Structure 1
Amino acid sequence: MLRRFSISLEESLLDKFDRYIQARQYDNRSEAIRDLIRKALVKKEWQADKQVMGVITLVYDHHQPKLQEKVTEAQHDFHHHIVSSTHVHMDHNNCMEVIIVRGKAGEVQELADRLIALRGVRDGNLTMSSTGKALR
C-alpha cells in the first residue's frame, strides 16, 4: 500500500533534484525518492554488518604474472560467499571478472578489498545490494 506524505524543500534544492531525476530518467519524484531511501537503508545494512549481496567487478591485465592464480585463490578462500562468477575476455590483454557474492557485509568487503588490491587489477568495484531482510 502506498502512503502519501509531503516534503518541503528550498527552491534551489528542488531544481537540482528535478535535474537529477530527469538525468536518470525517473518517471516522477516519488520513484526517485523511493530509490534514494532504499539506497540509504542498504548502506545502513552494510554499515551494521548485516547479511547482504553484492557484485565485485574486476578489470585486469591477464598477462600479469600469477594474477589469475591469485584471483582464483582469493575466491576459493571465500568460497562460501561466492554465488557465481563470470570471466570475460575484453580484448587481447584485458579480462573482466564479475563475482556475485553473499554474506556478512564485512566479509564481503574484505574479499572485494583483497581482489581489488591485487597487482595488475586495473579497475575494481564492489556494488552493494541487500538481501532485503532488514528492509521489511
Structure 2
Amino acid sequence: MKIVRFGVSIPEDLLKKFDDIIEEKGYANRSEAIRDLIRDFIVRHEWEVGNEEVAGTITIVYNHDEADVVEELLEMQHDYVNNIVSSVHVHMDEHNCLEVIIVKGRASDVKTIAERLISLKGVKHGKLVMSTTGRELV
C-alpha cells in the first residue's frame, strides 16, 4: 500500500481541539486519527447512497408487557430473514428487554427495517448503528 502525504489548512483553534481529542482517545498521531475520520466518511457515504451492501446493528429497548410487541418483533425478524444475521436478547429487569439485531444488506433496506422495528408500539428506545462490510475500506 502506497502512503500519500498531503497538507491541510485549518484554523489554529480547530487544530488545538482536534489534538486534544486525539490525545484523549490515545491515537499515536494525527495521521491515524485522520485515517479513521476518512473511513467513517466513506462508511456514511455508503449508507447515504443506499445501493451499497452494508452491515450494522439495531438496538432496541422495549417493555415485553406492552401490547403485542414481542410477537411483532418476532414476526418482523422472520419477514427480514435475508437481512437479519443474528440477534441477542437480554432481560434488563422484570419488564424491560434489550435486543441487539445484527443486519446486513442494501443500506435503504436496512434503514427501513430499523425504522419499522424502532417505531413499534412498546419500543422505548431504538438506534441504528451503521457500519460497513469492510470490503471497500483500506
C-alpha displacement of 1:93: 1.6
Question: Equivalent residue for 1:135?
Answer: 137
Question: Residues of 2 paired with 1:21 and 1:100: CA distance?
Answer: 29
In the superposition, the TM-score normalised over structure 1's length comes to: 0.92
Matches of residues 93-132 of structure 1 in structure 2 within 5 Å? 93-132=95-134
1:78 corresponds in structure 2 to: 80
Following superposition, the deviation at residue 8 of structure 1 comes to 2.3
The residue aligned with 2:9 is: 8
2:57 aligned with 1:52, yes or no? no
Aligned: 1:22 with 2:23: yes
SS at match of 2:121: coil
* Structure 2 unpaired stretches of 5+: none
Instruction: Give structure 1 stretches of 5+ with no counterpart.
Output: none
Distance 1:85 1:39 in 2: 24
**Counterpart code for 2:32:** E
Q: Name the TM-score, length of structure 2 as normaliser.
A: 0.91
**Shift of residue 60 of structure 1?**
0.8
Report if the CA contact (8 A) 1:45-1:134 is conserved: no
Q: CA RMSD in A?
A: 1.5
1:120 deviation in Å?
1.3
AA paired with 1:103? Answer: G
CA distance in 1, matches of 2:126, 2:24: 25
Deviating runs (4+, > 6 A) in structure 1?
none
Give CA deviations for 1:87-125 in whole Å, capped at 9, x if unaligned: 001111210000110100000000000000011111111
